[in-house]
Amino acid sequence: MLSFENTEIAFKIRSNKDLNRAYLLFKMISSNSLVYLGKKLSNAALKLHLPVDWAVKPTIYSHFVGGVTIDECRKNVRSLEKFGVKAILDYSVEGTESEEGINKAMEETLQTIHNAAQDRNVPFTVFKPTAFTKEIVLEKVSAGKELTREEKQEADNFRARVGKLCQTAFDNNVPILIDAEDTYFQNFIDEVVNANMEKFNKKSAIVFNTYQMYRWDRLEVLEKAYNRAVEKGYYLGAKFVRGAYMERERARAAAMGYKDPIQPDKDSTDRDYNAALKFCIEHIDRISIFNGTHNEYSSLYMTELMEKHNIPKNDPRCWFSQLYGMSDHISFNLAHAGYNVAKYVPFGPVRSVLPYLIRRTEENTSIAGQTSRELNLIIKERERRKAAR
């Protein structure tokens, strides 16, 4: 019987020193006021071009980020490998719209594909669509708005860039995950990703779209995508997440007066998330599943579905994934039991990954005075080690 309670397996990768460091870190970020202050200070430091590396790099950065470059991540990839956990290197620089920023993201992402092709412990590559064009273009095309001549050109450039990444992934036989971001960019992204799936997924799922199940319309969109794949004769690559941008989605919908694209409550999100997993397992002959979650039930549920349908634990069409530095109790226990598990390992310069780090700290602050799940697990393992001495 699979359990995520085993902290010995979950934290075997961490020495006592590492565990103590993680304890202090999660203790610090469990405080709402400290996280709020940290966010303000880092935003100010960024604006004023003050150095932040000295404070961030040895602490929060080294816990949640693999390194500045692909090379720097290698040591961490090898450590994960010892425990049967794979790694997906994710160039996590956000919010650059300049030609220079886009070219840099292109170069780094292409490099991650070549790296994955050579490293048996890196089974996928990934990118964020907003790294490859201007947000205004994603937004206007998604809303069906008229584009200027320059914007039309920029939309074509986006199509070409995504096409090049998918082609390179296909040529190197490295499946490629395309992250989902704000809902008002997604129609255009879906269009481009579906076209690339049709082109490159004829023999197996190489290109994966992301379905954010906190959207009330995604189950239907998933079913349509499946029907399209059947009709056109290709495999569907489906990555699932609940979705990371709920507050700003709700705020935008309220401010602009359109229907909130997010589910009315958490139960509805959970219901659709698990229904999507069920749908995919029932259609596994046509779909590859990437289950990106820190939710214990959704992870366990997929193992149960796999067992029910006699799908081997290490079936190459079924993947589980958590973020580096989070939910190791799920990743390492699943890998120990023989499932395919890959950690998302972000990399990039300290200043550029700060927005990613701020999201991670906000996720781990304590809710209503409770100790966060991560901190509880670390405490449990520290006590187990003390007792075992």
Ligand X SMILES: Cc1cc2nc3c(=O)[nH]c(=O)nc-3n(C[C@H](O)[C@H](O)[C@H](O)COP(=O)(O)OP(=O)(O)OC[C@H]3O[C@@H](n4cnc5c(N)ncnc54)[C@H](O)[C@@H]3O)c2cc1C
241, 276, 305, 330: which one contacts ligand X (CB under 6 A)? 241
The residues in 311-370 that bind ligand X, with binding defined as CB under 6 A, are 321-323, 344
Which residues, 6 or more positions from 340, have their beta carbon under 8 angstroms from its beta carbon?
86, 123, 313, 314, 315, 316, 318, 319, 320
Write the burial class of residue 300 (CB in 10 Å: 0-12 exposed, 13-18 middle, 19+ buried): middle
Q: By CB under 6 A, name the one of 110, 195, 221, 244 that touches ligand X.
A: 244
Q: Scan for tokens 């996280």, then name that residue.
A: 35
Cα distances (angstroms) measured from residue 143 to each of 132, 184, 302, 362: 19, 7, 35, 30
Rounded to whole angstroms, the Cα distance separating 246 from 349 reads 27
Could you tell me the smallest distance in angstroms from the CB atom of residue 34 to ligand X? 21
Closest distance of CB 320 from ligand X, Å: 9
Residue 138: its H or E element: helix 135-142
Binding-residue pattern over the window 268 to 307 for ligand X, x denoting contact by CB under 6 A = -x----------------------xxxx------------
Residues between 158 and 187 that touch ligand X (CB under 6 A):
179-180
Smallest gap from Cβ 217 to ligand X, in A, equals 13
Is residue 328 within 8 Å of 9, Cβ to Cβ? Answer: no
- The footprint of ligand X on residues 247-266 (CB under 6 A) is 262-263, 265-266
Candidate segments 45-53, 74-82, 207-215, 274-282, binder of ligand X by CB under 6 A: 207-215
**Window 212-231: contact mask with ligand X (x via CB under 6 A):** x-x-----------------
DSSP 31: -
For the chain, what is the largest distance between any 2 Cα atoms, rounded to a whole number of angstroms?
70
Interface stretch with ligand X, choices 32-40, 75-83, 199-207, 237-245 (CB under 6 A): 237-245
Q: Interface with ligand X by CB under 6 A: which residues?
A: 179-180, 210, 212, 214, 241-246, 262-263, 265-266, 269, 292-295, 321-323, 344
